[in-house]
Amino acid sequence: MINSKITNKVAISFIRILAGIVVLILAFLVGYILIKGLPYVSWHFLTSPSKSVSAGGGISGQLFNSIYLLVLSLLISLPIALGAAIYLNEYAPKNKFVSTLRNSIEVLSSLPSVVVGLFGFMFFVLKFGFGFSILSGAIALTFFNLPILTSSIENSLAAVPNLQREAGVALGISKWETIIHVIIPAALPSIVTGIVLASGRILGEAAALIFTAGQSSPVLNWTNLNPFSSTSPLNPMRPAETLAVHIWKINSEATIPDAVQISAASSAVLLILVFVFNLIARRLGNVIFKKMTAGGK
Amino acid sequence: MAKKTNLEIVDQLVAETDYDRYIIQLSKKHERAIETKDLTVTYDGLKYAMNPATIAFEKNKITSLIGGSGSGKSTFLRSLNRMNDDVATVGGQILYQGVDLNAPEIDVFEVRKRIGMVFQRPNPFAKSIYDNITFALTQRGKYSRVELDEIVETSLKNAALWDQVKDSLDKSALQLSGGQQQRLVIARALALKPDILLLDEPASALDPKSTMQIEETLVNLKNNYSIIIVTHNMQQAARISDYTAFFNMGKLIEYDLTRKIFTRPKVKLTDDYVSGNFG
Amino acid sequence: MNDELYQQLTKKSISTKKDNFGKRLSLFALILIGLVVFAILFFVVSRGLSTFTLDQINPFNFVFGTQWNPGKTDEAGNQLVGALPMIVGSFAVTFLSALVATPFAIGTALFVTEVSPKWGNKIMQPVIELLVGIPSVVYGFIGLAVVVPAVRNATGGTGFGIFSGVVVLFVMILPTITSMTIDALRNVPGHMRESAYAIGATPWQTIYKVVLRAAIPGILTAIVFGLARAFGEALAVQMVVGNSPVMPDGLFSPAATLTSVLTQGIGNTTDGSLANDVLWSLAMILLLMSLLFNTIIRRIANRRALK
């Protein structure tokens, strides 16, 4: 009895110590980034272009590129993921064919991002001649988006009670109409949450982008909104270094003297973006849910 | 001699040559809403969840389907508008105005427009009261706002809900009470102007007061609709229905006028069930 | 028979048409994803194999060779494409980091679910879940700014090497393994704990004999996820490992991993050259490993489903 009590005390204390160390490590991690980075984050830093050899550069182009790539890749991947999730959750029979496809989605989600980058480089950059471009990058990001989005949307759909499906079907409305007008609206809050969470993850992706979207950010003319012009920020065929790639690049090449400050500041910005995305994801779901159920006409 | 199990009694009963005499036949002068001929249901392709059932339902009457859990009454009901298509194999014929609804070439969505269904748990859409009723209509065709307003009003009046919600049609249907939701669901089904209304224990999830209101609603509706209702509640069956069919263990046992089923059933099993000896 | 009604009922309704349309459209989307996956698998494997078929490299020499200098040959004329240094490097950083991370992750998860749920549920779990989303380059940057200099001071070397890689990956996969382990422990039904307490077990006995045992499959899955993430991680490792494709002769000398060599090599080779083909072979190894991890995770899940 006494032995077991002592063992208990020792073991529980040990658990507390392990947890304490983890808290310290993670607190150090976040603290280091914020303490080193935040003082350097200013309006000027966020809105001025980066410099390649001298100090004092900003991250305006990288910030824009990250968001633009994210939006483009969502535009490509969302319809596909939605379709796939609908089929898997609403129509799919239980057979070999479907389970093979289901497994292939899991495989895609576990592919190392550098392999996706290599594939994207060979295919979109070289074979299809897209070059280092936002388009190549967006497609590479799509490969990451698809499995994450498909499974999160599928879960959202599965959480809608079957009563709603029966209601539609019993009214002589087709499954498809029920899905579009009843099931998806009902699942929308959780679908949106899933999209925002996925966006947070995509924002930090770098390995797949280095050789697809490229590592350079051409001088941009913010007033040029013609997507076919090479200085337009909207041009999908221009190379686009993202914030995450920027952190990697200035650390690897070390050509600018203030690489550490810029990396820390960029990391802080990325970190805050990811946190904000998470917060939004949690809130947005509730807001949409309230709006949707509160009223029709 | 050992006491026979229910299953043995049922098997013996169905094996009798004059089994048919326990199933009332509608005469020529009774107009038929829908009838089945040897309707069977299997879930695994082997065992009958519903043994061959031949039964005709009279138009503009209420028919109750009673029986214990697993008796097949709900399975039978859901087969009538082909709600079982995805989960089971349904055999035999379902005759509706001379057309076999169970034929493969029949479009199930057209069938369900004519044969509406209401479930045990109220299942309004997460939309406004108004949209709940108009949704299925607007998916089908073009209606003017005036037409829709009128349909909403009549459907809600028929379901005895109009007075309570006429000022809050824009409110979410999910904010209604359980009883109101169930009447909204009935109104939603009525808006499609079906011939037949199938109800699967529509009041079992409701409190006694809401139950009474639903029952009143149904009795008023039978002037214009043929109603088939599955119920666990003997009193309910006795109160509102004109005919009652008793199911047990996947078999149709007895079908007759309600008062006969409840006063002098021909089969002892029916007597046991309605008097509460098992079930 | 009522012919008019029959016509109405057998005519394909708009609903049927819409349903068929929707079914096809959504199936098309699913198949599209499947095609993408098969395209990636097919090309990585076929290009990866061309090292051995087209370039006639002996697979044995590739996997067990220790000299890596694609494009160059040794005195005997053999291509210097031995991938063993990177294979060893990858396995070393992956398994060492998971080995260190696992006890910390399990300890923290136990703290959150069993020892101090109040604190754990409200603060620690949400924070740990947030940290799962930290971009890996951020880990790489911290490694470069903090870990490498510290190691340099302590050992007198360059500071780059497997040890630094392990530290970075350890911190990176810690939130992942922890939060999945928390989920696994949460899934142990409460009545199992209650019955252990009811027969007088101490909290530790309950944890050790009941909770941990019941959660083993979930914890294993968490660890394999961590392994997969560490094995496939490119940039965070590449930034601190030293990028020297030689057989590592210790934890503190510069080394390389499959991913770090790939990261550096992709832009520097031309399509169709041997130097390019061997990169695909490295990618193929990465791919096969990720398939393996995937299979293990699925096996664990299936076995759990059977029980």
Please write the tens of the pLDDT for every residue from A156-186. 999 999 889 989 888 888 899 999 999 999 8
Q: Is A201 part of the contact surface with chain C (CB cutoff 8 Å)?
A: yes
Residue A297, pLDDT score: 36
The domain in which residue B50 lies consists of: 6-274
The helix or strand, by DSSP H or E, that contains position B52, with its residue range, turns out to be strand B48-58
Please name the residues between 255 and 294 in chain A that touch chain B, using a CB distance below 8 Å.
292-294
- φ/ψ of C233, rounded to 5, equals -65, 130
Mean model confidence pLDDT for chain A: 87
Q: How confident is the model at residue B64 (pLDDT cuts 50, 70, 90)?
A: very high
Q: Give me the half-sphere count of Cα atoms (radius 13 Å) on the Cβ side of residue A95.
A: 4
- Name the residue facing C9 among B99, B139, B140 (closest C-beta): B99
Residue A115, pLDDT score: 92
C-beta atoms of B139 and A297 within 8 A: no
C-beta atoms of B139 and A296 within 8 A: no
CA-based nearest distance B138→chain C, Å: 12
C-beta atoms of B110 and C13 within 8 A: yes
Mean model confidence pLDDT for chain B: 88
- Name the residue facing B98 among C2, C11, C19 (closest C-beta): C2
Q: Is B148 part of the contact surface with chain C (CB cutoff 8 Å)?
A: no
C-beta atoms of C9 and B110 within 8 A: yes
Model confidence pLDDT, tens digit, residues B99-120: 999 998 899 888 998 999 999 8
Q: Is C191 part of the contact surface with chain B (CB cutoff 8 Å)?
A: no
- Name the residue facing A297 among B81, B83, B128 (closest C-beta): B128
pLDDT at A16 over 80: yes
Cα angle value B116/B127/A80 (rounded, 5°): 95
Q: Locate B32 and state its tokens.
A: 């038929």
pLDDT at A111 over 50: yes
Model confidence pLDDT, tens digit, residues C119-150: 888 888 888 888 888 899 999 999 999 999 99
C-beta atoms of B109 and A293 within 8 A: no
Q: Is A53 part of the contact surface with chain B (CB cutoff 8 Å)?
A: no
Q: Which residues of chain C have pLDDT under 50?
A: none
pLDDT at B221 over 80: yes
Q: Is C104 part of the contact surface with chain A (CB cutoff 8 Å)?
A: yes
Kindly report the pTM of this predicted structure. Answer: 0.87
- Comparing CA positions, the residue from A284, A161, A176 lying closest to residue B174 is A161
* CATH number, residue B165: 3.40.50.300
- Let me know if residue B71 belongs to a domain: yes
Task: Give CA separation, C72 vs A153, C60, C78, C84, in Å.
Answer: 50, 18, 8, 17
Q: Locate B83 and state its tokens.
A: 């709600």
- Let me know if residue B59 belongs to a domain: yes
Which of A107, A149, A178, A215 would you mutate first to test chain C, the one with the most C CBs within 10 A?
Answer: A107
3-class SS of residue C12: coil
Q: Is B166 part of the contact surface with chain C (CB cutoff 8 Å)?
A: no
Greater confidence (A1 vs A18) lies with A18
Distance separating alpha carbons of residues A127 and C277, to the nearest angstrom: 16
- φ/ψ of B248, rounded to 5, equals -150, 130
> What structural domains and CATH numbers belong to chain A?
41-294 (1.10.3720.10)
Distance separating alpha carbons of residues A67 and A65, to the nearest angstrom: 5
> What structural domains and CATH numbers belong to chain C?
81-306 (1.10.3720.10)
Partners for C (CB, 8 Å, 3+ pairs)? A, B
Name the domain count of chain B.
1
C-beta atoms of A108 and C135 within 8 A: no
| Number of neighbours of residue C62 by Cβ within 10 angstroms | 21
Q: Locate B221 and state its tokens.
A: 């509706």
- Let me know if residue B1 belongs to a domain: no
Q: Is B110 part of the contact surface with chain A (CB cutoff 8 Å)?
A: yes
Q: Is B140 part of the contact surface with chain C (CB cutoff 8 Å)?
A: yes
